[in-house]
Amino acid sequence: MRIKIFGRIIYIPSWIKFAFIVLIFIVLGVVGYTIRKNQNILTENPDILISTSSPQPAESTSTLSPVQTTAPEITIYIIGCVANPSVVEIPFGSIVQDAVDAAGGLTEEADPTKINMAYPLSDHMMIKIPSANESDTDFIVNYTDWISTAYPSETKTPETDISVSVGIGKINLNTADKKMLCNLPGIGESTAQKIIDYRDKNGPFEYIEDIMKVPGIKQSRFESIKEMITV
């Protein structure tokens, strides 16, 4: 056998032609076997067929529940003539009456006329429900870390003639006596007397910051009591 390539005649022996033909048959046989084998696998295992359709988004197995919001609460410490003196949690915007109800109500000894039951409360207050036999009309339990108060509404004590307003809930620097001033943290009898002497000499305080003009009361002391005082 001879073929012509680029103008040249090349002689190919017969055995090479035979080997080439055999090689073609071998290749075709391997390809055919592979195709048949793959078809058998797909027939026996249809689950492995690859879908050509567009992928569908997975369905959510959970539904979003609506967000439940609860009204904010305040914490009040109520003592005195109530059924269960304790720390109670009541809704924001509550009044003294709500705290009394949360503590189980008034006892037989209670005298609700001595305290403003409609006084609006704020978080961390401490209030005392008086009895009918109590002569003290200033129901300040303490002023340590809390702005805590439970005053009768617009009442004047006969001893000191001090006007105390339950709507304020703070100690008035211009009207408080020594006993009331001593309820402020860090204010002892000596400093309380200095406050009284200062206002007697210079007149009423115009601003709560003026208390720092009293000897012995510096910025740090003012910062610790500024939320508890008024003028």
pLDDT digit string (tens) for 110-123?
888 888 888 888 88
pLDDT of residue 186: 78
| Placement of tokens 């108060």 in the chain | 149
Sketch the domain layout of the chain as residue ranges.
2-44, 71-160, 170-231
Tell me how far apart the alpha carbons of residues 124 and 118 are, in angstroms, rounded to a whole number.
Answer: 17
Contact (Cβ atoms closer than 8 angstroms) between residue 50 and residue 38: no
Tell me the pLDDT of the chain averaged across its residues: 74
Query: Over the stretch 33-90, which tens digit does the pLDDT of each residue have?
Result: 788 777 766 666 655 555 545 556 555 555 666 665 666 889 888 888 889 988 899 9
Encoded tokens for 2: 């001879």
| Residue partners of 37: CB distance under 8 A and separation at least 6 | none
Q: Is the pTM of this model over 0.85?
A: no
Please tell me what DSSP assigns to residue 80: E
Tell me how far apart the alpha carbons of residues 179 and 193 are, in angstroms, rounded to a whole number.
Answer: 10
Burial (CB count <10 Å: 0-12, 13-18, 19+), residue 42: exposed
pLDDT of residue 60: 55
CATH 3.10.560 assigned to 71-160: yes
The third-level CATH classification (topology) of the domain covering 170-231 is DNA polymerase; domain 1 (1.10.150)
Encoded tokens for 197: 């002497």
Tell me how far apart the alpha carbons of residues 189 and 179 are, in angstroms, rounded to a whole number.
Answer: 8
pLDDT of residue 65: 62
Q: What's the mean pLDDT in 142-167?
A: 37
Q: Terminal CA-to-CA distance of the chain, rounded, Å?
A: 125
Encoded tokens for 204: 């009423």
